[in-house]
A and B are shown apart, each in its own frame.
Chain A
Amino acid sequence: MYNFLEEFEKRMEIVGIVESIVNRKNRNMEIEKLFKEHDFLNLVFSVLLYIMEKTLSEDSDCDINHISNFLLSILPEYYNIILDENRTEEISDYIIKNVLQNEGLPYYFNAVDYEKNIRKIISIRLIKDKVIDEDNGHRITYALTDQGYDFLFRTKEVDQEIKLTIEELKLKELIKRKNFKKAYNQSVEIIHMVRQKKNDIQNLIMQIKENIYTVDVEEYQQLINSTYNLLDEEYKLLDEIMDMALKSEDKIRKDYEESRELDDSLRKAQKEIKNININIKVILSEQRDLILSRQNLSKIYLDTIGNSFEYSLENRFDIEELVLKNMERYIEKIEDFWKLVNPLFLPNIHQNLNIRSIYEPQGMIKLEEEEVDEYIEREDLSEDHEKERVERINETYVEILDYTLRMTLNNENKISFKEIIQSIKEDSLVFEKFTEDRLIFTTILKLYDIGVLDLSKWKESEGRVVMNLSDEFNIEYCLYQIMDNYDYISKIKRVYFMKEEEILKIEMLREKEDEDNILEKVEISNFTVRVERVNE
């Protein structure tokens, strides 16, 4: 083999990275044609640099809004493109998800390994993301991968490890020459580099926790060793730099004491040395964190690798062959397909052992089970019927709650469920409507579940929730409906629902056309409803 082809595959990694961006498939030409030739590629790499800058220099997160704002700030001036926020967000999304993340799929590049005469598959992944849960939902943040950092450094700076030592040496030399402005910039650079190393460790920890199998042992060892080396070298040099900065400060002080005046250039130098000292303190503090992170990384890696070892001997089946194709082949087994998903689903104890199911509509016991035909309805028709049914049920829920609250207010703020039932019995239409599908019983049980309805707090909560209504009782929807239509609700501060010892037995006669009448019996606890008025 030719010597110059040694480690050729490592050189090709850079080519692979460029190829992954330049020779992409599935392009969105609607977006890309907005840009002049090569401009879009310039923009993609600018976004990569922005992510690096944002995560390193500010030691902060970078999300899609940050990237959109960055694009908004550069597109008009440098690309002569003026777009509104929505369109810019769309472009940011396209650059991140489609171009840089390849729609979530890893990108592979085949490089020739001349030493082994094989094709080495290089996985390309320039950015990684993290989902951060927040009070109002979630946020996805982006950072460069090691490969991303490595690539970007190589486009301008020399290899990062060498670079770090050189930066320190340069800083030392610059302070010696009293070039404080440049020295200050160098100290900022060192902070970036230490933070990057810390980020690397944090990211590897996260990767280990998420899935140990995605972690390369070499990657782990290299990171651990490079951190050791980095710290050893840094400590000595930083001590010297601090020492020199102090001496320079002393020198300035002595000059001042002798001449009794501090000209502008000395004042500026003094300020810059002060900043250098602050930065050095930051570097030392970041280094301490780095040591702790490294120890943590080793522990987590060893724990996780130990845990996962026992699973590593197990072979896996091909989900497409064993599951999907069999689903296609044995379609008649559909009634058993629930068994495919069953082991993944949460224990369904509430559904199966739920007291509410007693109050759900029951079928009549017949001597023989009738065959249920799988009839086909027109889709639109069945959808419409379902929608109408849900709307009708929700309308009844609103009426039940409205009825209950009004009755309570009119009955000196306290009433029993028994009295409510007696009252609705006086109007057969209302009784039939409220007891259909046992709606009034499920509603009172749900309200008892809630216990206390704090309307004052609810009214304070901001904004309306757009709800997809189902046939379940939805307290928020009912309250909004009542609030929109009636003023009395503003007089109510809280509503309490309490259970009593007494058991109520209620009978309902259902008359069916062309069928026997049905007598339904319900046994339910009595409840007390109490209203606390505003200013009570």
Chain B
Amino acid sequence: MNNIKIGVQIFRILLEKGQLDREEHSDLFIEYLNSEVQQVLDEFEEEMECKIIKINNTIYLLPNYDNSLLGFKNKDFRQWIGSNARLSDVYLSYYIAMFILFKFYGGKNKSPKQREFMRILTLIDELDKRFEVIINKGAEMVVETEEEFDVNLASIAKLWKEKITLEENKRKTKYGTILRICSLLEQENLIRLLDNKKEIRTTKKLDDLMTYYFLNDSRIEEINKIFDIKEVGNASN
């Protein structure tokens, strides 16, 4: 088989499943190690604006952070939350998603992963504390941002605080809000909800990506671009 065909085969699987595992496709995995096949995939990476990286025994396809063709656009995120979701709901969902990553991978040791699982009720407690701090210290921040933008952090913190913690089958409770974002993360094969959806555990994919890619210093610049920060700050560990 020629290298282009192999490259296309690998790319097709990556496109379909997001990853190629050595156990499942051992032949293609070995072919991937061939530098000529990697050259073909380099072309795909460039043209399709994505990254193909091998982490241990898995090859992953990661859309570039600003790739809206292969990636998950803001529109998709809003659709998931609900067709009539407000801006504050959208913000809260993004924030909770990143907060979950922080609680799992905020470790300062050689491995960033700092916990094995997290109960959803524990996550609610942690978010309560975080938003409480925002509400208490945020008076001056609120005034400053309110003038510029429709939504402000304190109002979002209050929106969270006013939610009821738990009530069966209610989407707008704290529990329901977290469950909704978790089910999206679960669909993306990043976490698993276990114990009757009471407990969050990360998948091997998320462990791999967070340990070997997502938190790398080399991504600081692109994250700063998302927030439109011009000066590159030194936020590394």
Q: A315 to B188, Cβ gap below 8 A?
A: no
Binary interface encoding of chain B residues 137-170 relative to chain A, with 1 for a CB under 8 A from any of its CBs, else 0: 0000000010011111100100000000000000
Contact A374 B172 (CB under 8 A): no
| Set A97, A307, A335, A382: member contacting B119, Cβ < 8 A | A97
Whether the Cβ atoms of A374 and B70 lie closer than 8 Å is no
Q: Main SS of the interface on chain A? A: helix
What residues of chain B lie closer than 8 Å to A334, measured between beta carbons? 87, 90-91, 94, 151
Q: Which of A327, A329, A343, A386 contacts B98 (CB 8 A)?
A: A327
CB-contacts of B183-199 with A (<8 A): 188-190, 192, 194-195, 199
From residue 105 to 124 of chain B, which have CB atoms closer than 8 A to chain A?
105-106, 108-119, 122
Total chain B interface residues with beta-carbon distance under 8 A:
98
Closest chain B residue to A342, Cβ basis: B71
Residues of A within 8 A of B16 (CB): 347, 349
Q: Which of A330, A331, A340 has the most B CB atoms < 10 Å from its CB?
A: A331
Q: Decide if A316 touches B201 in the complex (CB within 8 Å).
A: no
Interface flags for A306-331 (1: CB within 8 Å of B; 0: not) read 01100110111111111110111111
The chain B residue sitting closest to A329, CB to CB, is B227
Residue numbers in B under 8 Å from A103 (CB-CB): 115, 117-119, 122
Q: Is A385 an interface residue (CB 8 A)?
A: yes
Beta-carbon contact of A347 and B18 below 8 Å: yes
The residue from A337, A343, A386 contacting B94, defined by CB atoms under 8 A apart: A337
- B63 CB → nearest A CB, Å: 5
Q: Which residues of A contact B218 (CB under 8 A)?
A: 314
> C-beta contact mask, A328-365 vs B, less than 8 Å → 1, else 0?
11111111111111111111110110000000000000
Tell whether A347 pairs with B15 under 8 Å between CB atoms, given A138-B194, A328-B134: yes
Q: How many residues of A contact B (CB 8 A)?
A: 66
Q: Are B235 and A321 in contact, CB atoms less than 8 angstroms apart?
A: yes
A346 and B188 in contact (CB under 8 A), knowing A104-B117, A333-B227?
yes
A317 and B215 contact, Cβ closer than 8 Å, known pairs A332-B148, A340-B226: yes
Inter-chain contact B84/A382, CB cutoff 8 Å? yes
Bound CA span A342–B61, Å: 11
Q: Does residue B229 face the partner (Cβ distance < 8 Å to A)? A: yes
Q: Which single member of B111, B113, B145 contacts A332 (CB below 8 Å)?
A: B145
> A131 contacts the other chain (Cβ, under 8 Å)?
yes
Note all chain B residues with C-beta closer than 8 A to A343: 51, 62-65, 209, 213-214
The answer to whether A214 has its CB under 8 Å from any CB of chain B is yes
| Distance between A207 CB and nearest chain B CB, rounded to angstroms | 11
Contact (Cβ within 8 A) A326 B111? no
Q: List B contacts of A311 (CB < 8 A).
A: 55, 211-212
Question: By CB atoms of chain B within 10 A, which of A93, A329, A338, A374 has the most?
Answer: A338
A340 engages B14 (CB within 8 Å): no
Judge whether A304 is part of the interface by a CB distance below 8 angstroms. Answer: yes
Q: Mark A379-421, 1 if CB is under 8 A from B, else 0.
A: 1001101100000000000000000000000000000000000
Q: Is the interface of B mostly helix, strand, loop or mixed?
A: mixed
Give the chain A neighbours of B115 by CB distance below 8 A: 103-106
The reply to whether B76 and A348 contact each other, CB–CB distance below 8 Å, is yes
Determine whether the beta carbon of B172 is less than 8 Å from that of A379: yes
Which of A93, A348, A374 meets B87, CB within 8 Å? Answer: A374
| Interface flag for B99 (CB, 8 Å) | yes
Encoded as 1 (CB less than 8 Å from any B CB) or 0, chain A from 439 to 477 comes to 000000000000000000000000000000000000000
Partner of B102, one of A316, A319, A329, A347: A319
In the complex, are the beta carbons of B223 and A322 less than 8 A apart?
A: yes
A536 interface residue (CB < 8 Å to B): no
- CB-defined contacts of B99 to chain A, threshold 8 Å: 324
Contact partner, B116, options A104, A307, A332, A386, Cβ 8 Å? A104
Q: Give A463 Cβ to nearest chain B Cβ, in Å.
A: 17
Q: Knowing A131-B192, A343-B63 are in contact, say whether A319-B105 is a contact too (CB < 8 A).
A: yes
Residues on the A chain within 8 Å of B149, using CB? 331-332
Complex alpha-carbon distance, A177 and B193, angstroms: 57
Q: Using known A-B contacts A342-B72, A348-B72, determine if residue A210 contacts B105 with beta carbons closer than 8 Å.
A: no
- The smallest C-beta distance from B189 to any residue of chain A, in angstroms, reads 7
Q: B35 on the interface (CB 8 Å rule)?
A: no
The distance in angstroms between the C-alpha atoms of A220 and B17, with both chains bound, is 34
Chosen A-B contacts, 26 in total, with CB atoms closer than 8 Å, are A103-B117, A105-B114, A131-B192, A315-B217, A317-B220, A318-B106, A318-B237, A319-B106, A323-B101, A324-B99, A327-B95, A327-B98, A328-B134, A331-B91, A338-B76, A339-B222, A342-B71, A342-B72, A343-B63, A343-B64, A346-B18, A347-B71, A348-B63, A348-B72, A374-B151, A386-B83
